Amino acid sequence: MKKIVILAAAAFVAAVTAFSATASAGSSNTYIKGDADGNGTVNVNDVTAVQRVLAELDSDSDGKITKRADIDGGGLSISDATAIQYYLADLSNKNNIGEEIVETPKTTRHPYELPFIPIN
């Protein structure tokens, strides 16, 4: 009986640990503000990426370029490309370009609902 209790407790701890690891691994989306191409740095290639999307030479079907390069929050525009250029020329950075942005997904669960923990 004692072995069953110990095994059950160990299985419970393992399940909670596995759930916590997977929940925290997919819980945030991190990017650098102004890094349109997603290479980890803000440079002139990001300005070009914005301009190519605006000129409809490149597609932004997944919305990643818009999310990373929408500097003022008003949708992707030439003003965003200009803001990145100002940042690169060290003229202005009132919109925190170059800073890491961490977004956490919104939960759709009821606040008192318990999480589902699969047991194999």
pLDDT one-digit tens code per residue, 5-55: 455 555 555 554 444 444 444 445 899 999 999 999 999 999 999 999 999
Looking at residue 19, what is its pLDDT? Answer: 45
| pTM score of the predicted model | 0.65
Cα-based distances in Å from 9 to 2, 22, 55 = 11, 20, 60
Q: What is the C-alpha separation between 44 and 15, in angstroms, rounded?
A: 47
pLDDT one-digit tens code per residue, 50-96: 999 999 999 999 999 999 999 999 999 999 999 999 999 999 899 99
Mean pLDDT for the stretch of residues 106-112: 72
Q: Give residues with Cβ within 8 angstroms of 6, minimum separation 6.
A: none
